[in-house]
Structures are given as C-alpha cells and as structure tokens.
Amino acid sequence: MRVTVLSGGVGGARFTRGLLALLAQRLPDDAGGTTAEVTVIANTGDDMWLHGVRVCPDLDTLMYTLGGGVHEGQGWGRRDESSRVSTDLAAYGLGWEWFTLGDLDLATHLARTELLRAGQPLSSVTERLASRWRPGVRLLPMSDEEVETHVELADGRLIHFEEWWVRHHATVPARRFVQVGLAGAAPAPGVLDALARADVVVLPPSNPVVSVGTILAIPGIRDAVRDAPAPVVGISPVIGGAPVRGMADACLTAIGVETSAAAVARHYGRRAEGGVLDAWLVDEVDADAVPGLADEGWAVAAASTLMSDVPATAAIAARALALVDRLP
Ligand code: GDP
Ligand code: CA
C-alpha cells in the first residue's frame, strides 16, 4: 500500500506520525514498522536564508517529529535544545531576535547548507539528513528550487512569510501571499511519481493556504493531484470556526475564505468539479456541516479530529482512510 501525504510542519507531521502508527498496526513489518510505503511531500515555502544557513522549518519539523527528536511541547524544534549560539550572536548585536535558532537545530542547518553549497539539490540533501533520523517515510521537498512565500502588506511592502508569522504573529493585515520563485520551479524528483502511484493521497490538517496551498501552487502538482488515480482525502485543520493552533484564520481571511471546516473544503474543491479532493473529514463539533457537503457530492464524515496523542491521531487517520475505502 502506498500513501502520499502533502504536508506542512506541525499539523502534517503530527498527523503523519499517527498514520504511521495506524499502518504499523494494520500492515506490520518485522521491525515494528509497516510494509506500507508512505511518501511525504513537504512545503518548503517557509524556507529562508538566515545567518548564511538554509532553514527549512517544515522539513525539519517532519524529520524531528517522525524521527523522535522533536520538542513535544512546542511541536517544532529539537528536544533538549539550548540557545548558546544565538545568545552569543546577540552579544555582537547580530541575529534576528524574533527567530530562534537553537544550537542543535543549527547543526541541521549547517549540515544542509554545506551539502547545498557542494551542489546537491535539496531533495538529495533531505534524503541524506533523513537517513540519520529514519522518519519511516520517504521525505520529499515539494521542489528543489527555492520558492519562498512572501506576504504583501497593505502598503504594498513584501515581507517573508516567517517574518509575518513569527515576528508579527499574523496580526498585520495581509493583502495576499506571493510565492517568490514559483515560475521557475518544478516538482522535486519523485513528487509526481508519488502522486501517480499512490493508493491514497492525504491532505492532513495542515494550513490550507501557506502549507498545502503552496505545495499545490508548484507548476504540475495541482494537476497531478487532480489526475491521481487514487482517491484524495483531507482532514480539516479548522475546528469550530478556528484553527487548532497557529493563525491559519489570518491566512484564510487574506485569500477571502471563511474560517470554517466547510469553507476550507469548498476552497480545495471536489475533484469531480476541478478541485483536489474527493472526501473531507470534519471535527465532531462541525457535524452540522456534513449534510450540506454530502448534498454537494462530498464523501464527508464527522469525528474527533483533535490530535491529542498518537493513538487518537491514528484513529483520525483510520477515519480518513475509511472515508475513501482505503483502510487496510
Ligand atoms: P505548520 O507548518 O507548522 O504551521 O503546520 P501545518 O501547516 O502542517 O499545520 C498547521 C495547522 O494544523 C493549523 O492550521 C492547525 O489548525 C492544524 N492543527 C494543529 N493541531 C491540530 C489538531 O489536533 N487537529 C486538527 N484538526 N488540526 C490541527
Ligand atoms: Ca510551516
């Protein structure tokens, strides 16, 4: 069984960890893992150059979460992290006080940057870094090209998405999101193949605008999802009219989409009507959205979608796969 997931950082990583736990139960291998092949196509629109190193927040969150090294409380970054380097940088009057680069995390960025500088594409570098973490999935960046999400503010100024998100907490109104570098970007090696050969494609509860939306914007990826032979199922990141964590509501508002489970589904659209999804799992508190979506032709169900721990998340993955008849 082949599963392909389009993922952002924390939401996508936590979901994938639950999916792997489910698959390890249903389709176990001899080593405590699963015989299923899971490919994760990660958003790299949040990537940036900082202090001369390449930071890939969503790839790293996936790698640390699935590899057992994540700071659980934060959901991103390394467990047992320290900040001696950034503190010392600050003593020189340098550094970005709004963006934390932990010491252990910095090692990842240094390693990545060294390999990139040696001429390796990001997909190969990611494979190399992931070989240490053994995330149990094939981890692919959406593209080898640098595509960076920027936010256009009301005065027309463009700032990097991370500056808007982390420094300004998404409180400065955004006019739109611009993917700098998009025109020259192509899907990374393996991405289109993973969509064409999947038995099921999953859109986890990641940010629909700046995580999944950015992946779909890479020329060729939206069409590959639309044309995938396998069913495509999504899980709502919006519960009861609000994102579970983060500020996805500010992103949805910027693109004119209401922050509700039903509106996010309609924003993605049904594949039968040119969209990217066949099925949509909403939280049980949004059960009243189910009849309307079902009338429109959606395969839709309501269940608890709070990823409170790994077993609860495995149950969410099971509900999602069952919705498209792919629960092993
Ligand atoms: P990021 O790149 O770190 O922002 O992570 P993602 O884009 O992968 O996921 C962010 C989204 O995950 C947010 O919009 C949250 O609403 C959603 N999310 C986080 N935790 C949960 C959860 O427990 N359940 C659901 N349904 N969504 C969640
Ligand atoms: Ca992200």
Chain-centroid distance, C-alpha 254: 19
| CB of 306 closer than 8 Å to CB of 299 | no
Amino acid identity of 90? A
Using N-to-C axis directions, what is the helix angle for 103-117 and 57-66, rounded to 10°? 120
pLDDT, residue 98, reads 85
Bridge partners, 101 (sequence order): none
> Ligand 1, from 211, 236, 253, 264: best to mutate by most atoms within 8 Å of Cβ?
211
Closest of 65, 67, 46 to residue 141, by C-alpha:
46
Rounded distance from Cα 29 to ligand 2 centre (Å): 31
> In whole angstroms, what is the distance from residue 262 CA to residue 158 CA?
30
pLDDT, residue 286, reads 98
> Ligand 1, from 149, 209, 245, 309: best to mutate by most atoms within 8 Å of Cβ?
245
CA-8 nearest atom, ligand 1: 8
Residues whose CB is less than 8 angstroms from the CB of residue 245 and which lie 6 or more positions away in sequence, other chains included: 10, 11, 75
Closest of 188, 159, 181 to residue 172, by C-alpha:
159
Ligand closest to Cα of 48 equals 2
CA-237 nearest atom, ligand 1: 27
Q: What are the mean pLDDT values of the chain's consecutive 10-residue runs (328 residues total)?
A: 98 98 98 97 97 96 98 96 92 84 96 98 98 98 98 95 94 94 97 98 98 98 98 98 93 97 98 97 98 98 98 98 98
Rounded distance from Cα 203 to ligand 2 centre (Å): 14
Residue written as token pair 């939280």: 283
Asked if residue 213 has its Cβ within 6 Å of ligand 1, the reply is no
- Map the chain to HEC letters: CEEEEEECCHHHHHHHHHHHHHHHHHCECCCCCECCEEEEEECCCCCEEECCEEECHHHHHHHHHHCCCECCCCCCCECCCCCHHHHHHHHCCCCCCCCCCCHHHHHHHHHHHHHHHCCCCHHHHHHHHHHHHCCCCEEEECECCCCEEEEEECCCCEEEHHHHHHHCCCCCCEEEEEEECCCCCCECCCHHHHHHCCCEEEECCCCCCCCHHHHHHCCCHHHHHHHCCCCEEEECCEECCEECCCCHHHHHHHCCCCCCHHHHHHHHCEHHHCCCECEEEEEHHHHHHHHHHHHCCCEEEEECCCCCCHHHHHHHHHHHHHHCCCCC
- CATH number for 2-47+184-323: choose from 3.40.50.2300, 2.40.50.140, 3.40.47.10, 3.40.50.10680: 3.40.50.10680
Asked if residue 237 has its Cβ within 6 Å of ligand 1, the reply is yes
Amino acid identity of 200? V
Asked if residue 306 has its Cβ within 6 Å of ligand 1, the reply is yes
pLDDT, residue 99, reads 86
Look at the chain and count its residues. 328
| CB of 176 closer than 8 Å to CB of 153 | no
Tokens of 82: 């320290």
Going from N- to C-terminal start, the domains of the chain cover 2-47+184-323
Phi-psi region of 325 (alpha: psi -120 to 50; beta: other; left: phi over 0): left
pLDDT, residue 9, reads 98
Taking the whole predicted model, whether its pTM rises above 0.85 is answered as yes
> In whole angstroms, what is the distance from residue 72 CA to residue 2 CA?
28
